A and B are shown apart, each in its own frame.
Chain A
Amino acid sequence: MFHWLEQRPFFFAVVLFLTISFAGIIEILPDFAKASQPTVGTKPYTTLELAGRQVYIKDSCNACHSQLIRPFKSETDRYGMYSLSGEYAYDRPFLWGSKRTGPDLQRVGNYRTTDWHENHMMDPESVVPGTVMPAYPHQFTNMADIATAYANANTQKAVFGVPYDQEGMPKLGSWEEAQAAALEEAKAVAADMKNQQVKDAVANGQVPEIVALIAYLNSLK
């Protein structure tokens, strides 16, 4: 057979191509099927949390705060359980960060509360003396973009198969439903806050950035 092939360059090229393709297929194809598997209990973000995530990205929190806890005792003592890859299954984009000017935030929802965040974002020095974190008072007056967050969630559902609207998972529903649900969540956050301007805005059906951001931070567990 080799004798026959060696005399026919065209068929030799065909067989060579098939051989190399076979090796490529068995090495490359399995990786396409290997999507990120969410850890048990990991849920997609709700519309309000996604809006908060956009605020987090917009105000570049990830430039100073990481969201990745390495498996060292010195890290787990301070930030909680080390990170697992499946916990990021619904993060688009990832916000791992590469530099810790401030502390890691991956599980900040476990050890900080709404009122603490409120004080901290308005005036970081008032709760952490000597901190270099700047204040973000504009988050108390700017409104969060719930519509974009809803579109974001729907895109993730349609394109990446993120399990919204399934049993035990956050519900998206129609735009009106999602808007109402986000407002409901915002009210729960605002109930723990003290800023009257924010409370009034939420009572009027608006969602200030700070409320969305706190909802997102509280969801980081």
Chain B
Amino acid sequence: MNSLVKGGIILIVALMAGTYFMAGDAFKLGDDYINDLTMLGAVAIIVITVFVALKYVNQIKNDVAGGELAEESWDGIGEYKNNIPVGWGVIFIGSIIWMLWYFFVGYPTNQFSQIGQYNDEVNEYNDKFSSKWTNIDANGLAAMGESVFLVQCAPCHGVDAEGINGKAQDLTIRMNKEQVLDVIKNGQQGLGYPMGAMPPMMAQGADAEAIAVYVAGGMKGEAPASFAACSSCHGVDGKGMNGMAPNIAEYDDTLVTKVLENGKKGAIGAMPSFKGRLNETQEKAVAAYLNSIKGE
């Protein structure tokens, strides 16, 4: 046994003893097999590291070069015509093969895409949404509508949907008197109903006043004679003749969908379009929720 091996063994023992001295009390053999395996691994790492290092130290000290000399000489320094080590050759050829694979197969087909991941996430969500809510009942719709409302609508219309003191539409009623008068005076356009835009000044003065009181009051009792100007498009019951014109009696699916899609400009201000932000079920859900809080 030469002095190098002795030195290596002393180093290994010293390292393990030092470790035991510093942290030995935290370790009990047989206490936890993960800890045991870790310690075994640590010992193996120390032993292998020390002996591999010793092998090379030994080589540097004792190896003598040999073989056939090359013809070229650099200021008296020669070079042997030895082959490169086999391991180097294998790694060299292997990395060329790996490069070809990575250039033509690995990178083009396996690369990560953030947008691809996003699209997968959205598709997965949409599939889950449609399979979970295909047969949603009226109560489920209203509950879904409430959660959609709180996120998308409440910032302007308020959590109670009452429009935050007139800063937005009070969604617990259909229209108040001022709003009816405003729409009679200015007309309404851009909602995209088959009937088209409503022209301004359909009624005036006392007639308009009577209509406003009747519509804002929830269309109860006898309709004033002047309501005929409205009913030709909005229907005698004000429900918009099955989606031909806006429903002025209540929020139905068509009205909510059209307003979400086109936005709306009215007596209070402008509402932006929410096109593409909600899916069809969610839009219906908002309508269902608005109907469920009517007149609270």
Contacts and interface: CB of A to CB of B under 8 A. Distances in A.
A73 B167 contact: no
Given A6-B74, A73-B118, A113 B269 contact: yes
A82 B167 contact: no
Interface stretch (A20-28, A122-130, A165-173): A122-130
A86 interface: no
B167 A127 contact: yes
Contacts of A128: 155
A112 interface: yes
Interface residues of B, number: 26
Contacts of A4: none
Contacts of B272: 110-113
Contacts of B274: 111
A108 to B, nearest CB: 10
A77 B152 CA distance: 9
A3 B272 CA distance: 78
Most A Cβ at <10 Å: residue of B165, B272, B273: B272
B270 A82 contact: no
Interface string A34-53: 00000000000000000000
B151 interface: yes
A216 B278 CA distance: 26
Nearest to B152: A111
B269 A71 contact: no
Given A126-B165, A128-B155, A72 B269 contact: no
A11 interface: no
B269 to A, nearest CB: 4
B114 A71 contact: yes
Contact of A71 (B118, B125, B167, B270): B118
How many interface residues does chain A have, given as a range? 20 to 34
Nearest to A112: B272
Interface string A74-91: 001110101000000000
B121 interface: yes
**What is the predominant secondary structure among interface residues of chain A facing chain B?**
helix
B237 to A, nearest CB: 32
A208 B59 CA distance: 83
Contacts of B118: 71-73, 76, 82
Contacts of A219: none
A72 B270 contact: no
A112 B151 CA distance: 13
A127 B277 contact: no
B115 interface: yes
B121 A116 contact: no
A128 B274 CA distance: 19
Interface string A96-134: 000000000000001111111001000000111100000
Interface in B57-108: 72, 74
B277 A80 contact: yes
Contacts of A177: none
Nearest to A103: B155
Nearest to A81: B276
B122 interface: yes
Contact of B270 (A77, A80, A126, A192): A192
A119 B115 CA distance: 37
Given A73-B125, A128-B155, 6 more contacts: A71-B117, A77-B277, A112-B155, A113-B272, A127-B155, A129-B159
24 contacts: A3-B72, A71-B117, A72-B121, A73-B121, A77-B277, A78-B151, A80-B277, A110-B273, A111-B274, A113-B269, A113-B271, A115-B167, A115-B269, A116-B155, A116-B156, A116-B167, A116-B168, A116-B269, A126-B164, A126-B167, A127-B155, A127-B156, A129-B159, A192-B270
The 10 nearest A-B residue pairs measured at CB: A71-B118, A115-B269, A113-B270, A73-B121, A111-B272, A73-B122, A73-B125, A119-B167, A71-B114, A127-B164
